[in-house]
Structure 1
């Protein structure tokens, strides 16, 4: 039987055990990640005694509770020891019946009988660094061969967000406005306080020209943001940083590029020869959402 549990009703020990032993495990479904990205505005659907779980973040608009993946949270979905179309169908039916859904992304393992829209993500799975690097495209390998003059005057450093706050703020792409940008930066700060964020910067002549923000836990390194000074795009600092992170972590961690629908970014990611993984989503327009919300009232 599927039950809907509010945040204060969740047995987080059982929830975490179910997630960590699941076939679909995603860092973005952990309590630590969702608490920060949704400000603890999430609940779960649970099958029997935590045989399967489905986290559901939400916002409140005009008095309605609306299911939506929070910013920086690419995939959620159903988590169980073995992915089951039958079980997933039950969750999907319950979810669509009980919730007003704006946007919800399942994970790339979840399969359904019903056809859902799909989006793309790119992953590199644990392997030896030498094997992973051999798969890079010829163009990406060339980008990693820096000129001697650049090598002598550059370095990669792990920094705190306060050290590059201004640089990241000036080079953030994709934020709707200043408020949106501040929210992203605050989330990064909260991840850092929780010891789940690394910021790696490429310095040229002691000035940061590229920075990468990644969320990390014991199984995954996830790319949350790339920040580049366009005046130095030919130096390929972002490629160098990502290769550096892959070299340090790929033996025992998944590198999650977090996908992109932007052709130039997709091309950049593909240069590292990651695996393409499609994930199903439910997406409704504001008009459709409001209409359904009125029916719920």
Structure 2
């Protein structure tokens, strides 16, 4: 039986134990991450925490809805019992009617052909090989850009450098997609909390005149390295700096039992860039349900 639990009713210890024992366990599903990322979250629980599903929610115009929090690529059902299409469908059916709009991502272990689900792309690279073998699997274009960047003699910094990385993102990609100040504050709060927890790190590339030209925030947790956030400017694009930055991270963790999770992407150009490192798809579904009153449903369109 699947039960709906309000946030105050959730047993955090039992929840996290279920997530940890799930073959599809991910950083985003742990209670402490959900507390960081979600405005509010309730839950669906099967049996004695044999399977769980977080329900991150907000309220607007008096209407409660499920949404995908910042920095949280995947949610959905995490289970220490066998995952099946029927189990995932039962969880979807159990989402309370009080949530009039549902726009959330499930996870790679839930990627079944079910009504209301649309597949989204994610790319993953096993690092359980030597750096030499990993590099051989790079595309010719990726190897060429790494060599070009190496000639620039960039300085690699592993000191925590979130301020400069956020500035690069805000002035370039962020300006293009018009990110809000609220979004920036949320991302800074989450990344800073992950850093203080000892699992969040940054890597930056500096030019000869000590300018940060590219950087990324990533998390090393359990068997994954999550490439959560990056920033780069025009000089990085022309010099191949981001190729070198990711290559440096891959080399640092090569021959270890990690997966490098590129965190996307449905963007064709970005997916091609990530695939240039030899990554393969491990996709996940998006769930959309619209129960809004007719007038709101029309506005949503």
TM-score range, shorter chain: 0.7 to 0.9
After TM superposition, give the deviation of residue 4 of structure 1 in Å.
Answer: 1.0
Alignment of 1:137-156 (within 5 A): 137-146=139-148, 149-151=151-153, 154-156=154-156
After TM superposition, give the deviation of residue 72 of structure 1 in Å.
Answer: 1.6
In 2, Cα distance between equivalents of 1:245 and 1:208? 17
Alignment of 1:108-257 (within 5 A): 108-112=108-112, 114-115=114-115, 116-130=117-131, 131-146=133-148, 149-151=151-153, 154-161=154-161, 164=164, 166-173=167-174, 174-205=177-208, 206-250=210-254, 251-257=256-262
In 2, Cα distance between equivalents of 1:292 and 1:281? 23
Q: How many residues align?
A: 289
After TM superposition, give the deviation of residue 88 of structure 1 in Å.
Answer: 1.5
Q: Call closer, same or farther: CA 1:175–1:42 in 2, change over 3 Å.
A: farther
8 Å contact 2:104–2:288 — kept in the other structure? yes
8 Å contact 2:101–2:291 — kept in the other structure? yes
8 Å contact 1:172–1:181 — kept in the other structure? no
8 Å contact 2:161–2:204 — kept in the other structure? no
Q: Call closer, same or farther: CA 1:272–1:93 in 2, change over 3 Å.
A: same
Q: Call closer, same or farther: CA 1:216–1:31 in 2, change over 3 Å.
A: farther
Instruction: Judge which range, 155-164 or 55-64, deviates more.
Output: 155-164
> What residue number does 1:271 align with?
276
| Paired residue secondary structure (1:124) | strand
Q: Call closer, same or farther: CA 1:68–1:13 in 2, change over 3 Å.
A: same
Aligned Cα RMSD in Å? 2.4
Pairing 1:280–2:285 present: yes
Alignment of 1:3-14 (within 5 A): 3-14=3-14
| Structure 2 unmatched runs, 5+ | none
In 2, Cα distance between equivalents of 1:104 and 1:64? 16
Q: Deviations over 1:6-44 (max 9, x none)?
A: 2221111111111111121111111232111114x1121
Q: Call closer, same or farther: CA 1:210–1:223 in 2, change over 3 Å.
A: same
